[in-house]
Amino acid sequence: MPLPPDRGELTAGLVRCLAQEPGRIPVPPVCLADRAAAYGDDLQLALHLCYELHYRGLPGVRDAWEWDPDLLRLRRALEDRFLAALRADVPSGEDVGTALDGLVHEPPDARTLTHFLRDEGRPWHLREYAVHRSLYQLKEADPHAWMIPRLTGRAKAALVAVEYEEFGAGRADRVHAELYAALMRDLGLVDTYGHYLDAVPAVTLATVNLMSLFGLHRARRGALAGHFAVLECTSPPASRRLVEAMERLGEGPAAVAFYAEHIEADAVHEQLVRHDLVGGLLDREPHVAADTVFGIAATLWLEDRFAAHTLRAWRAGRSSLRVPPA
């Protein structure tokens, strides 16, 4: 699989560099990052490519690029631009308890993306939703594993307990990323890691980049804990609606099983994350409370943008992707 086509001068220069040996050709100047739109396709794709070097790498790209000093300088400039925009747009606060309570009390009149899929969704909507989510779900829980060496005591024990189940509890066939790959096959989609990178818009890339931005920086451990809390606390009701959507539309057993797995498991994870992971972290490091609230708020804000974009496209009868799946 080749690197994706560029989405502007920033990604064009980056892709050209990554095709070469590290150090031979300078990466795009940092000034390009300063001019790029913080939530735009060019910056978000460039940031995603930089991050993927820390996961499974990129096709045809030398492993040595991962720690190339010039590339790291560019990545830092991209992160600073993204983070500054989020700091300006996302409400701040230090009341972690209130922020966490808001995650588990869904308004009775809520009309989320998963409500649409349950009540009105068609098969092509489910396929598009699966494509959007594939960039994270095919590496589910990997970004949060960066937090393990940065925690101690109760917080570390809780995180590892949750991650152990996310990674299949010792069974390769139960790893959640593998379960998602089976879901994609049931929906007639390609299950290859990163296959749909060119298909997803910047609004999706931003939701995935956020967790890597938090995860790769020890100083952002509070924000990553907040991000993880959002995923685990909001998952059970959303997963139940997705099971109902899959069953209503007659999708295959693997498509149903992935979300059915998350209904019960994440109900338990919610308690571990709220009381032991976040609670244990703040007991030892109360100074990260504001960053934890920021992690929660930034995650919700980007997810709301993603949902608004997707619903707007679907209600207009058009694809929410840059390139609809065949």
SS3 string, 145-158, reads: HCCHHHCCHHHHHH
Q: Is the pLDDT of residue 108 over 90?
A: no
* Residue 77 pLDDT level (bands cut at 50, 70, 90): very high
- Examine the domain organization and report whether 79 and 162 are in the same domain: no
Which three-class secondary structure state does DSSP give residue 199? coil
3 state SS of 112? coil
Whether residue 1 has pLDDT greater than 70: no
Q: What percent of the chain has pLDDT over 70?
A: 99
* Residue 91 DSSP symbol: P
Confidence of residue 222 (pLDDT cuts 50, 70, 90): very high
Question: What percent of the chain has pLDDT above 90?
Answer: 88
What is the domain count for the chain?
Answer: 2
State whether 74 and 165 are in the same domain.
no
Q: Residue range 162-175: average pLDDT?
A: 94
What are the backbone dihedrals phi and psi of residue 237, each rounded to the nearest 5 degrees, phi first? -65, -35
266 has a pLDDT exceeding 70: no
User: Which single residue is written with the structure tokens 């010039």?
Assistant: 70
Inform me whether the pLDDT recorded for 104 exceeds 90. no
Q: What is the mean pLDDT of residues 216-235?
A: 96
Predicted TM-score of the model (pTM): 0.95
The verdict on 117 and 255 lying in the same domain is yes
User: Confidence band (pLDDT; 50, 70, 90) for 105?
Assistant: confident
Q: Taking 80 as the threshold, does the pLDDT of residue 2 lie above it? A: no
Q: CA-to-CA distance for 108 and 115, rounded, in angstroms? A: 12
Token match 């209503």: residue? 248
Residues 56 and 152 in one domain: no
DSSP state of 198: T
Render pLDDT for 13-37 as a digit per residue (tens, 0 to 9). Answer: 999 999 999 987 888 888 899 899 9
Q: Is residue 123 part of a domain?
A: yes
**Is the pLDDT score of 326 beyond 90?**
no
Same domain flag for 84 and 117: no
